[in-house]
Each structure stands twice: as structure tokens, then as C-alpha cells.
Amino acid sequence: MPPRSRPPISRALATGRACRCPNCGQGRLFSGWLKVRNDCSVCRLTFFPEPGYYVGAMYLNFIASALLLAVLYVIALPIHRFQEAAIASQVYGWGAVGVVVCLSLMRFAYSFWISLDFWLNPWEPGVEHPLG
């Protein structure tokens, strides 16, 4: 069987942003807030090609969250109210913001991870991942 052609990157980014199946663009990736389905309800593409598949998504989430927190921190620097707060209050406050940012980006990290992997190395619905 010839290798499957790569879908356009715009499609991968669109399905990643929409948290949809990278193959058909219709099936939902999540069955709950953070629970990834086993496969697509429309085309049967597996969403768990191999054990530990989403560890890379966790790294992606960490990097995106750290960058967003850095941007938020720089934006907050000119605000004197933040600078005058006690160090402990700043640490707890930024820690809480970090948790919220990390949880907010987690779905998108998982979705972009599988979408970009599918774009790089697409696999057929109902079969194992080509590298798995």
C-alpha cells in the first residue's frame, strides 16, 4: 500500500484548534473536558496510537503555558499594585494563574499534538500508527 498523502497544514491547524479528528475533521477528540476518546466516532481513526502517546502534548502544554505566563508577567510589571504585594502573595497568585493557564491550554495541546503528528505521518483509520 502506498504511503498516505499528507493533508495541508491549514487543515491540521484547523482540526487542532477545533479539537476534532485530524482525519475527517468531524469527530470530537474529547468525550469530557480532558478525556480523549479511544477513536473517532465518525471515521474510526485511533486517538491512542501507542502507550504514552500524549506525553509530548504535556511538554507542549508546559512550553505554551510558560510562554503565556511570561507574557502575562511582563504585562503586569508596570502595575504598581502587583509590585507592592508581599512576595508570598505574588508567588501564590502567580502559582494560581499558572494552574489556570495550564489547565486552559491542555485540551489544545493534546489536540494540536495529534493533529500535527497526523499531518507529519498520517495513518489509516482502524490500523495501528505507522511508527507505533
Binding positions for Zn ion, rule: CB under 5 A: 21, 23-24, 27, 40, 42-43, 45
Q: In angstroms, give the least distance from the CB of 130 to Zn ion.
A: 17
Name which of 24 and 69 has its Cβ closer to Zn ion: 24
3-state secondary structure of 117: helix
What gap in Å lies between CA 93 and CA 5, rounded to an integer?
A: 47
Q: In angstroms, give the least distance from the CB of 27 to Zn ion.
A: 4
Q: Any idea what DSSP says for residue 39?
A: B
Q: In angstroms, give the least distance from the CB of 126 to Zn ion.
A: 11
Angle (CA) 123 125 129, round 5°: 40
Name which of 27 and 49 has its Cβ closer to Zn ion: 27
Name which of 7 and 98 has its Cβ closer to Zn ion: 7
48 in the Ramachandran plot: left (φ > 0), alpha (ψ -120 to 50) or beta? beta
Cβ contacts of residue 24 below 8 Å, gap of 6+? Answer: 40, 42, 43, 45
Q: In angstroms, give the least distance from the CB of 42 to Zn ion.
A: 4
Name which of 13 and 42 has its Cβ closer to Zn ion: 42
